[in-house]
Amino acid sequence: MTHQHGTQLTGHVQLSLVIPVFNEAATIDLFIARITDVFKDETLIGLEMVFVNDGSTDTTLDLLLERQQTDSRLRIVDLSRNFGKEAALTAGLQTATGQVVVPIDVDLQDPPEVILEMIALWREGYEVVLGHRVSRKTDSWAKQTSANWFYRLHNKIAEQHLPENVGDFRLMDRCVVDALQTLPESRRFMKGLFAWVGFRTTHVNYERLERVAGASKFNGWRLWNFALEGITSFSTEPLRIWTYLGLFVSLISFSFAIFIILRTLISGVDLPGYASLMVAVTFLGGLQLIGIGVLGEYLGRTYIESKRRPVYLVRRVYDPKD
């Protein structure tokens, strides 16, 4: 029996894992071994592992090609350079062939065992099953705090809300993946796009673990730019905020001008010091520069999108049949 959206309520299911990798030679063998152990019953779940090599400079690609010789479940998409995780995810989703697709990091912070729970919920008719972290104890205090503030700010000013403490780790039905592939933007904030397409959604709770090996490729600066990308991708509210702020400052300036005129008429000519004048000039100059920066951020996005460049370029796709 089959659900109207393609969900199989019983029987065999074809699962594709989308795994972006960038200099992850230390984790690949551990990841494949864990996945093999979790999905050893091939009568219920047919597995495809789509590794997207995002311009690695270590032995990641060589190691993947070596493992593919003995494991036909591996497909390898080798990008022409490092395009970033969002582009790598896009490439993996466009390559995956499964009925259900799960993006997952190779560092095993997201336990593969949770996918079995996701598939059970998918069989009940859900088209998206989110992996919801019950805590962020594996993150530093700074990362926890910045993440909380980002979700609060984004969900306050953007029309499309992001589920809090949910990353890219989720199960998506084929119809959801097909819908994502119709979205044309070049600058892609995948968490926002995942939320934007909608569909019938539920979640499973899980505890995020420490990395099994290697180090995270995200630093504070990249996370800041990532947050900025997310806010400007799905909200024009920052532009509106600067309009209101400019109006507010103008009203204060106008009120102060009236105050000076009245005081001069009543008390005579008054020549205040330069300190207050410099503070006012630098304050207003700073506001103008920030406002120009916000405008520039949106104008830059428009400029990039107008070029219609592809999100990524593929050097080669290595299929096990090749």
pLDDT tens digits for range 44-61: 788 889 999 988 888 888
Task: Quote the DSSP letter at residue 127.
Answer: S
Candidate from 168-172, 297-301, 316-320 with smallest mean pLDDT: 297-301
Decide if domain 13-234+310-318 falls under CATH 3.40.30.10: no
Any idea which of 37-51, 179-193, 202-216 has the lowest mean pLDDT? 202-216
Region 164-171: what's the mean pLDDT? 82
Model pLDDT, residue 153? 66
Instruction: Look at 225 and 110; give whichever has higher pLDDT.
Output: 110
Number of alpha carbons in the 13 Å side-chain half-sphere of residue 34: 18
pLDDT given at position 137 = 65
Residue 242 half-sphere exposure toward CB, CA atoms < 13 A: 15
Determine the average pLDDT of the residues in 283-304.
Answer: 73
Greater pLDDT, 239 or 63: 63
Q: How confident is the model at residue 25 (pLDDT cuts 50, 70, 90)?
A: confident
For the segment 57-82, the average pLDDT, to the nearest whole number, is 87
Contact, 232 vs 154, CB < 8 A? no
> Long-range CB contacts (< 8 A, 24+ apart) of 290-297?
290/242, 291/242, 291/245, 291/246, 294/238, 294/239, 294/242, 295/239, 295/242, 297/228, 297/232, 297/238
Joined tokens for residue 276: 């207050």
Q: What is the pTM of this model?
A: 0.67
Does residue 218 surpass a pLDDT of 60? no
In tens, the pLDDT along 127-159 reads: 888 888 887 666 665 566 666 666 676 666 666
Instruction: Give the 3-state secondary structure of residue 162.
Output: coil
So what's the pLDDT on residue 51? 92
Helix, strand and coil in the chain, % to nearest 5 = 50, 15, 35
CA pair distance 199, 147, nearest whole angstrom:
25
Model pLDDT, residue 237: 67
Q: In sequence order, which residues have a C-beta less than 8 Å from that of residue 307 and are 6 or more positions away? A: 186
At 20, phi and psi to the nearest 5?
Answer: -70, 135
